[in-house]
Structure formats: structure tokens, C-alpha cells
């Protein structure tokens, strides 16, 4: 807890959409939220809006693919708060074209690398950089935003919800992120840090598109629940609305 008795949460990509709503819901629980944003001005505008709702919020310039931003963010959090209680790795990209058609055979190496840079490598790097601060928390929580599209089980099962929805670069980057969740949770299994993947569902964000079926507020519930798990909560899993999502 900080001097006001509040937990500290960093949410990446939090200036809009699901990240902003996650910050809002955590903030309403009395948690100080750090609004990570590639564009500082947009982050500051989002933080100002949250403050207007009575939420303790700070903007933090954080382009997750920029090493300098990651180092600066870790340094600022350490200097300002001395620890981090919650990390929600929300920032991500969906660059695949021709959705929902399967174009695996023609997906370019450039598209794969750009997708993995944000959705996987940046998440790993940021989490590793902030892990020393999470270890100082009484109950650290790491939440990696994935998708039902990360499920190999569903993709391989005819008739599943995503069997005919194949965005190869995005899907596989999130599958890799699930693997990071499993491996990091295992390493930290004897600590008070819990690491889980959150499938938010299909909320009406820019990434979700016009056909999305859930309100953004509903989509934020799963990452918020995993960010605030009690001591008896799970670790090393993927969940949606409290239920496990098959790997």
C-alpha cells in the first residue's frame, strides 16, 4: 500500500477502450491507476477524465515497444511508489487483413514480426522490467490480455466458436502470450505473485469492430477480477468471466 493505503496498478494502452475501462473499474475500487499510453497527451486526457470521476490516476508515457519508455516507466514507478501491485498488459495490435478468412499461407514475415513485437516481445520485456517492483508488493498480480482466438483447442475443433476465424499473426502471438503466462506463473509459484491470462470476450472496441457483442464495461470485468484475486485465487491459467478457457 502507498501512503494513502492504496494499491498501485499499471494498465498499458489505457488511454481508450478496454484499457481505459479496466483503469476506471480498478480506480473505482480505490486503486491508484497508472494510465500507460504511447501518446502522453492522450494519456493525460484519459487520466484527467478519470480524476474527474474521483479516481486517483496518473498518465505515464509508455510505448511498450520502446526500450527507453519501459526503462523510464520502471524508474518513475520505483521513485514515486517504490513498488507495483498490479500489471495489466492490455496494449496490443490486430494487423491481419481479410478477417475472418484464413490467409496463413500468405501472411508476411513483416506482419508476423510487427504483431509479435507488440503482442508478445514487448509484454515479456515490460513484465521482466517491472518484476522487481511486483516482488515488493504484498500480493502482486500480472494479467495478460489474450483472446479466445489464442486457444489451440478451439482452433482445432470443428464447430467451436473460432474454428472458422483465423487471423494467423494475431492468434499465434496471443497463443505465445499464454505460454508466457504459464511459464512465469510456474517460476513464481512459491511467491505471492499470481500470473494469469484474461480473455475479455468480444467487446465493442476499435479492435473488436462493429459486430462485437459485448459492452466495453463487460469486457473489462475479467481482467479486473484477475487483477484483484485473493490469496486463494488461481495462477497460471486463462479465464473468461471466471471460467477457464482451454489452451
- Our CA dihedral for 2, 138, 12, 224, rounded to 10 degrees, sits at -100
Which three cell numbers mark 226?
Answer: 484477475
Please tell me the predicted confidence (pLDDT) of residue 2: 47
End-to-end CA distance of the chain: 34
Is 8-94+124-147+178-244 a CATH 3.40.50.720 domain? yes
Note the pLDDT of residue 1. 45
Which of 143, 89, 147, 151 lies closest to 118 in space, CA to CA? 89
Span 189-218, average pLDDT: 88
Are 246 and 151 within 8 A, CB to CB?
yes
Under 8 Å between Cβ of 46 and 20? yes
13: left (phi over 0), alpha (psi -120 to 50) or beta: left
Question: Could you read off the pLDDT of 20-68 as tens digits, one per residue?
Answer: 999 999 999 999 999 999 999 999 999 999 999 999 999 999 999 999 9
CA angle 8, 14, 18 (to 5 degrees): 110
Could you read off the pLDDT of 175-191 as tens digits, one per residue?
999 999 999 999 999 99
* Residues acting as catalytic residues: 170, 174
Domain boundaries, the chain: 8-94+124-147+178-244
Confidence bin at 99 (pLDDT 50/70/90): low
Residue 234 has φ and ψ, to the nearest 5°, of -75, 165
Which of 64, 82, 63, 79 has the alpha carbon at shortest distance from 6?
82
- Cβ–Cβ under 8 Å, residues 27 and 6: no
Whether 241 has a pLDDT exceeding 70, the answer reads yes
Average pLDDT, integer, range 139-165: 97
> pLDDT-derived band of residue 98, with 50, 70 and 90 as boundaries?
low
Amino acid at each position: 500500500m502507498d501512503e494513502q493505503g492504496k494499491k498501485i496498478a499499471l494498465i498499458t494502452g489505457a488511454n481508450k477502450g478496454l484499457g481505459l475501462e479496466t483503469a476506471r473499474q480498478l480506480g473505482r475500487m480505490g486503486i491508484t491507476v497508472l494510465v500507460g499510453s504511447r501518446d502522453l497527451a492522450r494519456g493525460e486526457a484519459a487520466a484527467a477524465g478519470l480524476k474527474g470521476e474521483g479516481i486517483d490516476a496518473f498518465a505515464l508515457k509508455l510505448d511498450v515497444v520502446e526500450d527507453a519508455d519501459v526503462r523510464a516507466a520502471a524508474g518513475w514507478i520505483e521513485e514515486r511508489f517504490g513498488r507495483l501491485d498490479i500489471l495489466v498488459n492490455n496494449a496490443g495490435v490486430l494487423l491481419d487483413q481479410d478477417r475472418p478468412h484464413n490467409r496463413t499461407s500468405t501472411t508476411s514475415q513483416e506482419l508476423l514480426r510487427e504483431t509479435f513485437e507488440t503482442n508478445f516481445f514487448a509484454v515479456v520485456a515490460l513484465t521482466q522490467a517491472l518484476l522487481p517492483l511486483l516482488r515488493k508488493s504484498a500480493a502482486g498480480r500480472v494479467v495478460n490480455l489474450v483472446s479466445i482466438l489464442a486457444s489451440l483447442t478451439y482452433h482445432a475443433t470443428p464447430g467451436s466458436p473460432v474454428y472458422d476465424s483465423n487471423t494467423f499473426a494475431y492468434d499465434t502471438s496471443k497463443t505465445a502470450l499464454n505460454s508466457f503466462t504459464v511459464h512465469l506463473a510456474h517460476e513464481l509459484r512459491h511467491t505471492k505473485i499470481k500470473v494469469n491470462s484474461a480473455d475479455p470476450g468480444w467487446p465493442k472496441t476499435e479492435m473488436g469492430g462493429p459486430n462485437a457483442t459485448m459492452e466495453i464495461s463487460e469486457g473489462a470485468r475479467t481482467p479486473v477480477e484477475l487483477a484483484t484475486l485473493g490469496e486463494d485465487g488461481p495462477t497460471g491459467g486463462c479465464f473468461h468471466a471466471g471460467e477457464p478457457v482451454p489452451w
